[in-house]
Amino acid sequence: MTPAQIGFALVYISIFLLLGKLIRIKFPIFQNLFLPSSIIGGFLALLLGPQVLGKLVTPFVSEDNFFTNGIMTEGITQVWEALPGLLINIVFAALFLGAKTPTLKNIWNYGGPQLAFGWAIGWGQYVVGLLVVLLILVPFYDIPPMAGALIEVAFEGGHGTAAGMAQTFEDLGFPEAFDLAIGLATVGILSGVIFGIIMINWAVRKEKTEIVKDVKEFSNLKKKGIMEFQNREPAANMTVRPESIEPLSFHFALISLAVLIGYVILEGLIALESVTWGAWTDSEIMTYVPLFPIAMIGGILLQLFFDKTDKHDVLDRPMIARIQGFALDILILTAIASVSLDVIGEYLVPFIVLAVAGITWNVVGFLVLAPRIIPQYWFERGIGDFGQSMGVTATGLLLMRIVDPDSKSPAFEAFGYKQLVYEPFLGGGLVTALSVPFIAQFGAVPMLAFAAVMSLTGVLAGLFYFGKKGS
């Protein structure tokens, strides 16, 4: 991969973002669906990339023809595949920078309901997956019981987690699980966006939302995604003088520092584990924890430092938000464009059964549990957890951004608080990484019983504690 390839990959991203915006402006169907330009551009890039256009033209051209990879070179697709995993760290490191440091009370009140709901849905994916495997796939399709973990691995963990567990699947004698997991992760992202947009339109029309009240009241400019003249305001504030350092550069450097702090913390925990409990038990835990929730801790620690030392308020939250939004746009576009659409032949029926079971559980769980566990701003807050449960964290952030574009609700903060406890375990954390080896060693029934207890704990805590508090 050369610097020129990286540069052209970024140019292509810009072009597809602009094309996505142009399509949003020109076609009312995308306006009525509130589809962001990053999603439209991502799907356009997917269609014109190696997964669709490349496969369509391959039978008719030579192997070295440019269009065998769509309109993108292989170097561009390689860069795009790496960007989502990098940019999610920027998104989370920026969550609390420039904002008032949360108190433990706020973390408990706002993050608690999110954690209870997410906990119930995440563990419930194991329950649903294992029941489907034990009752249908094992007796009729001779699928190994460890396939019961694939819904959570793929939907909550996403493509990165699925790819990271390829060697585990190989070592446990079920290498086909890698293809199943990648395919399910693809279905998760696509269905998460599609069902999320459908439910957002339903919620707005049924007055289930608090921020966006009525799609009929949206002006044509608002539907097109253009700010009305009377509502335009500065995107950010100049808190440092440009001749000393460009304000954008200054704030980006601080976000990067937060990511670095998180990285150092994570590496320190990994090193500590290797000489303490990891060495005593011959096991690894911290190596399975993703960086972005720890990067968020880095951002909180950096904000605490500025709370004590910053006498001039040089940290500007709107500027941080613009950088965060920029990273999120690129993350969404490249994640969708990099989705693998390979057909899973031999395991097509089990694949469909797992996908339908996972989607059904997530949709029903959201509509039934979220309004009862999260009484205030339940839709704005719950839709983020629904998106994460379908297609990793970026999908959840995207859906929250649609229903709360100006962050008027506590959705983003509550989602971030919840991640502090949630991510080390589910969604690519410890439980996700160890679930397949656990099932392979101890069987599906013990894992099913444990997952059922964990999911029920989230449901009961949400319904009878947080739901009753009205937090």
Cα distances from 9 to residues 13, 38, 65, 137, 388, in angstroms, run 6, 15, 19, 42, 27
Kindly state whether residues 57 and 139 are assigned to the same domain. Answer: no
Rounded distance between C-alpha atoms, residue 176 and residue 140, angstroms:
17
Residue 364 belongs to domain spanning: 89-226+289-323+335-469
Kindly state whether residues 77 and 100 are assigned to the same domain. Answer: no
Predicted confidence band of residue 222 (pLDDT cuts 50, 70, 90): low
Residue 225 sits at φ, ψ, to 5 deg, of: 85, 30
CB count within 10 Å of CB 381 equals 28
Kindly state whether residues 112 and 23 are assigned to the same domain. Answer: no
Kindly state whether residues 98 and 164 are assigned to the same domain. Answer: yes
Between 198 and 222, residue with greater pLDDT:
198
**Cα radius of gyration (the chain):** 22
Cα distances from 329 to residues 17, 295, 401, 410, in angstroms, run 8, 19, 11, 21
Cα distances from 286 to residues 90, 169, 265, 394, in angstroms, run 21, 20, 11, 22
Average pLDDT of span 114-140: 94
Q: 41, 61, 86: which is the final residue of a domain? A: 86
Kindly state whether residues 101 and 121 are assigned to the same domain. Answer: yes
Check: CB of residue 323 under 8 Å from CB of residue 90: yes
The number of residues in the chain equals 471
- List, for residues 223-268, the tens digit of each pLDDT value: 666 766 666 677 778 888 888 999 999 999 999 999 999 999 989 9
Rounded distance between C-alpha atoms, residue 111 and residue 61, angstroms:
54
Count H helices, E strands: the chain? 23, 1
Predicted confidence band of residue 296 (pLDDT cuts 50, 70, 90): confident
Q: 86, 101, 134: which is the final residue of a domain? A: 86
- Is the pTM of the predicted complex or chain greater than 0.75? no
Counting the structural domains of the chain, the total is 2
Kindly state whether residues 463 and 317 are assigned to the same domain. Answer: yes
Predicted confidence band of residue 159 (pLDDT cuts 50, 70, 90): low
Please give the distance of CA 318 from its chain centroid, rounded to a whole number: 22
Kindly state whether residues 22 and 68 are assigned to the same domain. Answer: yes
Q: 47, 67, 86: which is the final residue of a domain? A: 86
Kindly state whether residues 96 and 152 are assigned to the same domain. Answer: yes
Kindly state whether residues 317 and 184 are assigned to the same domain. Answer: yes
Question: 19 in a domain, yes or no?
Answer: yes
